[in-house]
């Protein structure tokens, strides 16, 4: 099981006892199909909802764990509307449309299970009335809308190579007068170039990069093996190809990984960092990977770049050379609808290219 799933499963096991018995029953029902990370998000959403019920006096229970099913049956549509308003306007951790839709979808899944699938000892549904069946959850991001938001915020074909080249040679020139920045750069240059090149030549997610182990890389076949998002099979890693352009960067990093980061033999992580005050390298965190990309992106003149936008940049370029279904498989999308983002993005790219003057 990958590092994130182990952590989330542990957190899930800690949180479940504080939930009503029927939530635990639902989570156990879903356990074979969903990852611990997804189930943990469900439980967090339910904790928010039940805590709100108690605060609003919509349940007479003393704690979240004690909220009875009958309190769910008594809910009106007004209650759900008020909950949506609460999510959107609360002072701390207010939510956007996408997050609100996801939280409502979590609730709908629970209510559906209780009213349509789970039964009591007399074979009657556990929940007699399902208010969430009336709630329409609109898709908040259509591929075309997502594409519109990404326009102008991705690396175009030539810029992919330019950005990698900038990290290799341009950044140290820009920070030449900053001794601390230059020292840190020289220490991690090969690793940083490797990470950025790998993402821009494969489209890996930050979680997939974070979870990579040394044994997951096959330079000869130009393959890396990753735990794909949404797949709950912890025994199988999905093979993902990377382009030839990433091979030299990976080879250079692997050659110096041990000598530079002095990781103990038990440390299998591919990408390492040495934390302040420590002598041995350990798995580089997701946050550190994100911050590293942003650091270079700002100096490159594209401060809006992130790991996910590097993934989008690769995907747009890949889609131009392949088709929808190959792109879907390369990126690990569950649905081709998600991959349609790149069809909309490349429509604009092709429109610009036709009028581009010849060099």
Does the annotation count 29 as an active-site position? no
Both tokens of residue 48? 């928010």
The catalytic residue among 84, 141, 308, 348 is 308
How buried is residue 224: exposed, middle or buried, by Cβ count under 10 Å (0-12/13-18/19+)?
buried
* DSSP E strand stretches across 98-155: none
Annotated catalytic residue within 112, 229, 295, 299: 229
Rounded to whole angstroms, the Cα distance separating 231 from 287 reads 23
List phi, psi (to 5°) of 282. -140, 170
**Phi then psi for 238, rounded to 5 degrees?**
-85, 130
- Which of 63, 110, 104 lies closest to 80 in space, CA to CA? 104
Cα–Cα distance, 135 to 137 (Å, whole number):
6
Residues 217 and 213: their CA atoms lie apart, in Å, by 8
Establish whether 103 is a catalytic residue: no
Residue 311 known to be catalytic:
yes
Helix (H, G, I), strand (E, B) or coil at 62: coil
Catalytic residue among 205, 283, 309, 344: 205
Q: Which two tokens stand for residue 41?
A: 């998000």
Which one is catalytic: 237, 312, 333, 344?
333
Instruction: DSSP letter for 238, please.
Output: E
Task: Find, among 56, 46, 3, 49, the residue nearest to 26 by Cα.
Answer: 46
DSSP of 200-223: HTT---HHHHHH-BGGGEETTTTE
Whether 342 is a known active-site residue: answer yes
Question: How many angstroms separate the CA atoms of 277 and 340, rounded?
Answer: 47
Task: Exactly one of 5, 311, 312, 344 is catalytic; name it.
Answer: 311
> Are the CB atoms for 359 and 335 separated by under 8 Å?
no
Asked if residue 237 lies in contact with residue 294, where contact means CB atoms within 8 angstroms, the answer is: no
Specify whether the CB–CB gap between 30 and 39 falls below 8 A: yes
CA–CA–CA angle 350, 166, 160 (5° rounding): 25
Catalytic residue among 22, 296, 342, 344: 342
Are 192 and 292 a contacting pair, CB within 8 Å? yes
State CA 38 to chain mean position distance. Answer: 11
What positions carry a catalytic annotation? Answer: 205, 229, 308, 311, 333, 342
């Amino acid at each position: 099981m990958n590092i994130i799933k182990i952590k989330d499963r542990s957190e899930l096991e800690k949180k479940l006892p504080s939930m009503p018995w029927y939530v635990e029953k639902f989570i156990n029902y879903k356990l074979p199909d969903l990852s611990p990370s997804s189930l943990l998000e469900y439980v967090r959403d339910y904790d928010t909802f039940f805590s709100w019920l108690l605060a609003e006096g919509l349940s007479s229970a003393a704690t979240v764990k004690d909220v009875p099913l009958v309190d769910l049956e008594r809910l009106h549509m007004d209650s759900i509307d008020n909950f949506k308003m609460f999510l959107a306007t609360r002072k701390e951790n207010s939510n956007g449309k996408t997050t609100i839709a996801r939280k409502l979808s979590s609730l709908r899944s629970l209510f559906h299970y209780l009213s349509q699938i789970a039964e009591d000892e007399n074979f009657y549904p556990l929940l007699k009335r399902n208010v969430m069946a009336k709630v329409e959850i609109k898709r908040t991001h259509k591929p075309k809308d997502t594409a519109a938001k990404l326009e102008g915020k991705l690396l175009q074909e030539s810029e992919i190579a330019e950005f990698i080249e900038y990290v290799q040679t341009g950044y140290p020139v820009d920070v030449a007068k900053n001794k601390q920045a230059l020292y840190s750069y020289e220490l991690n240059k090969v690793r940083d170039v490797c990470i950025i090149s790998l993402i821009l030549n494969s489209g890996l997610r930050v979680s997939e990069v974070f979870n990579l182990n040394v044994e997951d890389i096959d330079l000869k076949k130009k393959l890396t093996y990753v735990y794909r998002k949404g797949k709950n099979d912890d025994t199988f890693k999905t093979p993902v190809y990377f382009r030839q352009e990433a091979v030299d960067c990976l080879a250079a990093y692997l050659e110096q990984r041990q000598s530079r980061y002095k990781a103990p033999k038990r440390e299998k992580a591919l990408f390492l960092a040495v934390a302040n005050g420590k002598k041995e390298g350990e798995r580089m965190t997701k946050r550190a990977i994100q911050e590293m990309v942003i650091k270079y992106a700002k100096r490159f003149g594209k401060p809006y770049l992130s790991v996910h936008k590097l993934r989008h940049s690769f995907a747009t370029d890949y889609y131009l050379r392949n088709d929808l279904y190959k792109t879907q498989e390369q990126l690990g999308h569950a649905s081709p609808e998600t991959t349609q983002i790149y069809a909309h993005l490349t429509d604009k790219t092709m429109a610009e290219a036709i009028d581009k003057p010849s060099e």
